[in-house]
Amino acid sequence: MAEIKGHIVAMGGGGFSMEPDNPLLDDFILSLAPRSPARVCFIPTASADSAQYLVKFYRAFSGRAIATDLTLFDPPSVPRQPASTSEIASFVAEQDILYVGGGNTASLLAMWRVHGLAQVLYEAWREGKVLCGISAGMICWFRDGLTDSFGALASLGDGLGFIDASACPHYDSAPDRPTAFHNAIAAGLPGGYAADDSAALHFCGQDLVEAVTSRAGASAYRVDLVDGQVQETKLATRFLGMG
């Protein structure tokens, strides 16, 4: 595999949509961009391109970055939206950060694959772009994950696999998630990472650099099956509010 120059910031929760008065995670993401002001593109596919979600994004990033968006549910007649895969690729190439919102992970992946966006994002990451997201926007970058896309919590089965592991967001805000994640790993889900709300995992290429948080006490975890037993290890985290 060619050297991957980009970053992935996988947020268990937080960011502008969950912590509108706490910019620490979003500021951290902006700090990874190669230029300032950064061009930040919001991709709200998982919410079916929710207009309210888009408004929140533009309000949050106004004055902090050059904000753009990429929606796939708009009709092709909307001139501001790229329609073909080549147009999408050209548009993505102009961005510094691709920020993926929460919602239905399975629907997100299906739409991305239909429009060729999954491959476009892989190439963008390989060339040095920052990929990030919350909830569905966390899970999508991994090979597999725990999702409620189908109703009850279940294995996703077909993540993008940029990070060869599984993922579970909202680890502390839904009491059934830790048990469900452990059970899924015991049943064959690849070992992987979990993140509380307000916690994020920062990867450079495929290597975990650190876990960061916007709230003191939030945590991230590595969960694996070892000798037939599920083992959960709390990762060292850096609180972004210090210093």
- The catalytic residue positions are 135, 170
State how far the alpha carbon of 138 is from the alpha carbons of 74, 99, 132, 184, in Å.
Answer: 24, 10, 7, 18
- Residue of 220, 161, 166 lying closest to 192 (CA atoms): 166
| Residue 103, token pair as written in the block | 């919602």
- Residue of 141, 134, 153 lying closest to 205 (CA atoms): 141
Mapping DSSP to helix (H, G, I), strand (E, B) and coil, where does residue 237 land?
Answer: strand
- Residue of 108, 38, 39 lying closest to 68 (CA atoms): 39
- Residue of 101, 81, 108 lying closest to 92 (CA atoms): 81
Contact at 8 Å (CB) between 172 and 143? no
